[in-house]
């Protein structure tokens, strides 16, 4: 996982989110496909776990720089798991819960 700035910007799903306070995330472009607005992944929730900490977030965007099953978390969601100075973290587990 990594984190990105979602404050006040439209995500690929067409919603404006404030990632400084909201637990939202972006899905790797290869998983999400070419469709943006109206994508069936939009609005789904995922549980993300790292070192005994767990957070739930809403899918609102597509990550162009993510590969495989990587996800990009909002600042708020990332900070619930680790300090931002960790940067990219690879030993994370996540799955959709709806």
Model confidence pLDDT, tens digit, residues 23-41: 999 999 999 999 988 999 9
- In this prediction, residue 56 carries a pLDDT of 98
Instruction: Characterize the bridge pairing of strands 53-63 and 45-50.
Output: antiparallel
CA distance 4 to 16: 14
pLDDT confidence of 6, banded at 50, 70, 90?
confident
For residue 87, name the pLDDT band (cuts at 50, 70, 90).
Answer: confident
pLDDT digits (tens, 9 = 90+) for 41-84: 999 999 999 999 999 999 999 999 999 999 999 999 999 999 99
Sign of CA dihedral 95, 93, 1, 52: positive
Residue 5 pLDDT class (50, 70, 90 cuts):
confident
pTM: 0.93
pLDDT value of residue 10: 85
Q: Are 5 and 21 in contact (CB under 8 A)?
A: no
What token pair was written down for 88? 């990219």
Q: Are 51 and 8 in contact (CB under 8 A)?
A: no
* Coil vs helix vs strand at 18: coil
């Amino acid at each position: 996982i990594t984190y990105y700035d979602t404050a006040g910007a439209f995500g690929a799903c067409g919603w404006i989110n404030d990632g400084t306070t909201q637990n939202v995330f972006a899905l790797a472009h290869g998983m999400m496909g070419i469709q943006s607005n109206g994508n069936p992944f939009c609005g789904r929730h995922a549980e993300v776990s790292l070192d005994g900490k767990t957070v739930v977030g809403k899918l609102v965007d597509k990550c162009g720089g993510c590969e495989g099953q990587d996800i990009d978390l909002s600042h708020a969601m990332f900070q619930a798991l680790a300090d931002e100075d960790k940067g990219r973290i690879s030993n994370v587990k996540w799955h959709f819960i709806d």
